Amino acid sequence: MNTPTPSPLAWNALALLDEATFCARLGPVVEHSPWVAREAWAARPFADWASLCDGLSRVIHGADEARQLALLRSHPELAGQEARAGTMTADSQSEQGRLGLLALDAATVQRIESLNRRYRERFGFPFIVALRLHGSLATVLQAGEARLANDALTERRNALQQVCEVMRGRLAQTVSPEPSPPPSPSVNTLAGTPS
């Protein structure tokens, strides 16, 4: 059963979090890879939401190859076994559900299974795509077919960039990009001047 998504954390509150709370709140923005938030913690303070996002992205792109591959392999396939078993994270279910990947006809399932299999055989990790950047399943499938033509290094970089785009979308739901406005100064109505 899915639990409701908590309200985004106010930007101003982010700086007040201790390491454990920071990691607990931001750890899930990268699929099954809480180490990304843990390592980004060291780059604090973040000047703004974009620098927070960049900090998380730098951790991903700066990891060694083995860690990057482990991160990529932790992602579910599109409409894959995790989706059928209902074991994807709530974020992945929401993202795949938006384009109808959780309720496909048999012909589309076969097409996606073929893409998933060919991609995994070629690159050794699942086809990862930031679904929030696509308006239809057709463009997702076109992107997958096009990316099959890439060499291994190019595609690993592409896949990591797609992880960062997924993370960016999840981060926007986790931490409000805008700071809360400061409280209005109180006005002394008798004197007509601020108190």
CA angle 184, 185, 189 (to 5 degrees): 120
Examine the residue annotation and report whether 75 is marked as an active-site residue of this protein.
yes
Tell me how far apart the alpha carbons of residues 151 and 54 are, in angstroms, rounded to a whole number.
26
Q: With contact defined as beta carbons under 8 Å apart, do 11 and 181 qualify? A: no
Tell me if the bond preceding 45 is cis, omega within 30° of 0: yes
Where is 67: in which H helix or E strand? helix 65-73
Identified catalytic residue from 32, 61, 75, 134: 75
SS3 content of the chain, % helix, strand, coil (to 5): 60, 5, 35
Tell me how far apart the alpha carbons of residues 171 and 8 are, in angstroms, rounded to a whole number.
9
Tell me how far apart the alpha carbons of residues 46 and 56 are, in angstroms, rounded to a whole number.
11
Q: What are 188's strand-pairing partners?
A: 193
Active site residues: 75
